[in-house]
Structure 1
Amino acid sequence: MSAKQTFTLWPTGAGGLPDLLPTGKIAAQVRRAAYAAAPWLLPLALFALWSLGAAQGWIAPQVLPAPAQVWEVLRDLAVSGELWTHVAASLQRVLVGFAVGAVLGLVLGAAMGLSRRAEAYLLPSFNALVQIPVLGWLPFVLLLVGIGEPLKYILIAKAAMVPVALNTLQGFRQTPASLREVGRVYGFSQRQQVLEIVLPHAVPTLFTGLRLGFTKAWLSLVVVELVASSEGLGFLIVYGRQLFQLDQVMAAVIVVGAIGFAIDRVLDVAERRMARARSTR
C-alpha cells in the first residue's frame, strides 16, 4: 500500500461494513479519461445525427449519403489504388509548396525582424498583398505559368509564406532588450546575438508560424485542386460533384480532414517536445 494513496470509508449494503476505496487515484484516472474523451464527444454526436438522419430519411440520399455508403466508396477507392494516387499527388504538392513558402517566409521575416529599415520598406506592401486571397492570385499566376504544377506550387507557397513571415518577424522582435544588452556587454557580435540570443528565444514563435503555414498550405492545396487539377483530393471532390456522386465527395472530404488532422497532431507533438526540451535546459 502506497503511503501517498488516500482512502475513504464507503458503507456497503448488507453488512454495513465499510469498504476501502482509493478515491484520490480513481478521481485522477476519471479526470484523465474525461479529458481524453472530451474532444470526441462532438464528432460522435454529429456522426450519430448523420446516421439517424440517413436511416430516418430526413435528408435525401442524393444530398447526404448514409455513412455505410460513404464507407463502401472509400473502401473501393482504397482497394483499387485510386485513393492513394490522389493522396500522393496532393501530399507532393503541399510539401513542395510549403517548403518553398516556409523558406521565403523565414528569410523575409528575419530580414524585417533584424532591420527596422527593411521593415519600413517591406511590411506595408507585404500587409497589402497578403490581404488578397489565393483565388484572387489564380488568374494572374495562370497567365504567367499556365495551368500545370508550377501554378499549384506558387499558390501554396504564397499561402504558407504569410504566417511564417509574420511569426518570424514577431519572434525576432519579442526578444527582451535586457538580453540583447547582456550580449553587448559580453562583446557579442551581431551574428552571435542573432544565433545565441535572438534565435533561441524566437524558436517557439517560429514553430507556431510553421504550423500555421502548413495549415494554410493544406487548405490552399484543396482550393487549388478544386479549380485547376486533374488529380488530387480536390480533384476527387470536384469529379464526384460533377457526376452527382455525393458519396465520393463525402469520402474525399473525410480523407482531407483526416490527413490534415493527423499532420496537425504530429506538429503539435513536435512543438510540445521542443518546448519541454527547452524548459529542461
Structure 2
Amino acid sequence: MSSPALVPALPRALPDARLRQWRRSAGRPLRALLFPLALLLVWFWAAQAKLLPEQILPSPVYVWQASLDAIQSGDLLMHIGWSAWRVAAGFGIGASLGLSLGLAMGLWPRLDDYVRPTFTAISQVPTLGWIPLLMLFLGIGETLKIVIIAKAAFIPVVLNTCSAIRSIPSSYFEVARMLRFTALQRLRLVILPAAVAPVFTGIRYGLTKAWTALVAVELLAAAQGLGFLLVWSRQMFWLDMMLFAMIVIGLVGFLMDYGLARVESRLQRWRLDPQAGA
C-alpha cells in the first residue's frame, strides 16, 4: 500500500525539474562571461600597474573611448558592412559548391576516386598561399577577396559533407529502395535528415575559415573592412583602436557561429521530433 504522502509530491516533481533546467540554462551565459571578465580585470590591473608602456598596452578605458568614437563617426558600421558583404558572398559561393561536390563524392564512390587525390593536394596549400597566384589573374579587387573566402569555406564543407554521406547506414538506403523512393525523396527524406549534424559541423567550420581568410586578405589588399581597420590602426600606432578592432572581429565571428549553431539545433530538433516538422 502506497503512502499518502507520495501522492501530492508527484505534481511538484515536474515544476521542480523545470526549475532546475531553467536555472542551468540561465546560468550558462553567466558562466561563459566569467573568463572574459577575468581577462578584462587582469588587463585593467596590468594597465594600471604600468607593467607595459601605454603605447604597447593601452588601458581598457582608452579602448572604450576609441570604440565610442568609431561608433559615433559611423566608421565601425562601414567597415563591418564591407566585411559582412564579402564574407556573405564568398561563403555563400564556397559553401554551395562544397555541398554539391561533397554530396556527389559521397553518393558516387567512382567520382570520389577520380576527384579525391587532386582535391587533397589542393587542400594542403594554405588559403593565403593562393593569393600571389590569384593576384596575377584577378588583381587586388573584390573578386580576389571573394574567391579566397570561397576557397577557405569550400574545403571543410566538401570534406564534412562527403564524410556525412558515407557514414549513413546502408540499411537506410535499403529501406528507401523497398519503399521505392525516387532520387529526390531519398535526398529529402533519408540523406539530408541523417547527415544534417556532420554537414552543419562542416558549414560552421567553413564559416570560421571564411571569416579568418577574410580578415587576412583585408590585411593585404583592402581599403575598407575590419582587417583594413586592424592594419591601418597598427600603421598609425593607434593601439587602442587596433585592440578594439580585434575585439569586434572576435565578437562578429562568435555571433555568426552562434547563429549557425541555433539553426543546427532547430534542424536537429526537427529531425528527432517528426511532429515538429508537421
* TM-score calculated relative to the size of structure 1: 0.88
> Alpha carbons of 1:29 and 1:159: their partners in 2 closer, same or farther (altered >3 Å)?
closer
> Alpha carbons of 1:263 and 1:28: their partners in 2 closer, same or farther (altered >3 Å)?
closer
Alignment match, 2:213:
220
Alignment match, 2:57:
64
- 1:1-281 alignment to 2 at 5 Å? 4-5=11-12, 31-32=24-25, 34-281=27-274
> Alpha carbons of 1:52 and 1:4: their partners in 2 closer, same or farther (altered >3 Å)?
farther
> Alpha carbons of 1:111 and 1:29: their partners in 2 closer, same or farther (altered >3 Å)?
closer
> Aligned equivalents of 2:258 and 2:178: distance in 1?
42
- Check the 8 A contact 1:109/1:165 in 2, yes or no: yes
> Aligned equivalents of 1:49 and 1:70: distance in 2?
15
> Aligned equivalents of 2:28 and 2:272: distance in 1?
24
Alignment match, 1:19:
none
Q: Percent identity?
A: 43
SS in 1 for 2:125: coil
Instruction: Tell me how far 1:35 sits from its aligned partner.
Output: 3.6
- For 1:88, the aligned partner's letter is G
Between 139-148 and 127-136, the greater mean CA deviation after superposition: 127-136
> Aligned equivalents of 1:237 and 1:41: distance in 2?
27
Unaligned runs of at least 5 residues, structure 1: 7-22
Rg larger in structure: 1
- Kindly provide the CA deviation profile for residues 158-193 of structure 1, in whole angstroms up to 9, marking residues without a partner as x: 000111111110121111111111222233344443
> Aligned equivalents of 1:259 and 1:52: distance in 2?
27
Instruction: Tell me how far 1:125 sits from its aligned partner.
Output: 1.2
> Aligned equivalents of 2:124 and 2:236: distance in 1?
35
Unaligned runs of at least 5 residues, structure 2: 1-7
- Check the 8 A contact 1:5/1:25 in 2, yes or no: no
> Alpha carbons of 1:124 and 1:252: their partners in 2 closer, same or farther (altered >3 Å)?
same
Alignment match, 1:9:
none
> Aligned equivalents of 1:3 and 1:25: distance in 2?
14
